[in-house]
């Protein structure tokens, strides 16, 4: 599955770009939320996301890169988030945040940054439905895939065993890296600069062919 990242879309014509990727068969829309604290960049908040809910019907896959997920989880669910992932590195009460996502009727997941050992996920494997593996340092689109991520994906795949958990990979997914990432065990590939750098329809088709 593919989840184009809105971060690389044209914000002056966002509705148009989202409809283009929906038509092109994107499975999810990946939505990066940054607060300028957890990562050194800022995007937008729940009110802006809510505006976009009427444009497309594909699921909104909200990736929270924020210090305080607890406060904002209910607001993003209210704005139409279908899946919510937050970082295992945040100082929040992880169990409480997963409860909040479930109580709001969204699908819960955890994100792991490049320098964090997969063992940090172990206590939560029976609670999450998505594990988002960051294959770049979070904060910016257009970075290069960190090669060590492939082993990490394989390790997490092993840890998951029979559980019903999707592995999503985010960062540096492009025509050169997609096949390797898929082969390592990813179920969902996030892609920003590759999909939106040119014709999203053609680029998604090419990514799909390369990973078939
Ligand atoms: C980075 C974001 C990514 C980003 C990926 O912090 O989480 O979702 O948009 O961009 P590319 O595909 O360009 O690496
Ligand atoms: Zn992301």
Note the pLDDT of residue 142: 97
Q: Give yes or no for residue 59 CB within 6 A of ligand 1.
A: no
Identify whether the C-beta of residue 131 lies closer than 8 Å to the C-beta of residue 165: yes
Q: What pLDDT, on the 0 to 100 scale, is given for residue 101?
A: 98
Q: Is the CB of 174 under 6 A from ligand 1?
A: no
* pLDDT value of position 15: 95
Closest of 9, 32, 7, 31 to residue 20, by C-alpha: 9
Query: Mind listing the domains of the chain with CATH numbers?
Result: 2-211 (3.20.20.70)
Give distance in angstroms: CA of 171 to centre of ligand 1. 5
Structure tokens at 190: 């996030």
Known catalytic residues are 32, 170
CA 141 to ligand 1: nearest atom: 10
Cβ count within 10 A of residue 140: 16
CA of 3 to the centre of ligand 1 (A): 11
Distance between Cα 104 and ligand 2 center (Å): 21
pLDDT at 120: 98
Q: Is 90 touching ligand 1 by the criterion CB < 6 Å? A: no
Look at residues 81, 109, 101 and name the one whose alpha carbon lies nearest to residue 169. Answer: 109
**What pLDDT tens digit does each residue of the chain (212 aa) get?**
999 999 999 999 999 999 999 999 999 999 999 999 999 999 999 999 999 999 999 999 999 999 999 999 999 999 999 999 999 999 999 999 999 999 999 999 999 999 999 999 999 999 999 999 999 999 999 999 999 999 999 999 999 999 999 999 999 999 999 999 999 999 999 999 999 999 999 999 999 999 99
Q: What is the pLDDT of residue 51?
A: 94
Residues with Cβ–ion distance below 5 A, ligand 2? 32, 63, 170
CA angle, residues 207, 64, 100, in degrees to nearest 5 = 120
**CA pair distance 196, 128, nearest whole angstrom:** 29
**Mutation to probe ligand 1, out of 11, 32, 34, 169 (largest number of atoms < 8 A from CB):** 32
Ligand nearest to the CA of 193: 1
Specify the residue with its C-alpha closest to ligand 1, atom 9: 141
Question: Shortest CA distance to 5 belongs to which of 191, 186, 199, 147?
Answer: 191
Ligand 1 within 6 A of 32 CB?
yes
């Amino acid at each position: 599955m593919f989840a184009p990242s809105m971060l690389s879309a044209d914000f002056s014509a966002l509705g148009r770009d989202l409809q283009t990727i929906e038509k092109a068969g994107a499975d999810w829309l990946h939505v990066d939320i940054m607060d300028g604290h957890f990562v050194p960049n800022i995007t937008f908040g729940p009110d802006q996301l809510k505006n976009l809910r009427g444009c497309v019907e594909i699921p909104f896959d909200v990736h929270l890169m924020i210090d305080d997920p607890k406060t904002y989880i209910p607001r993003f669910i209210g704005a139409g988030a279908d899946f919510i992932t937050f970082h295992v590195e945040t100082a929040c009460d992880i169990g409480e945040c997963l409860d909040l996502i479930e109580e709001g009727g969204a699908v819960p997941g955890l994100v792991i940054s490049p320098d964090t050992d997969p063992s940090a996920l172990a206590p939560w494997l029976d609670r999450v439905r998505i594990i988002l593996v960051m294959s770049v340092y979070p904060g910016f689109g257009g970075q290069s895939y960190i090669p060590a991520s492939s082993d990490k994906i394989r390790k997490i795949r092993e840890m998951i065993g029979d559980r019903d958990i999707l592995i999503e990979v985010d960062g540096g997914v492009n025509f050169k890296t997609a096949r390797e990432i898929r082969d390592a065990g990813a179920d969902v590939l996030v892609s920003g600069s590759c999909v939106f750098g040119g014709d999203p329809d053609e680029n998604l088709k090419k990514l799909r062919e390369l990973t078939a």
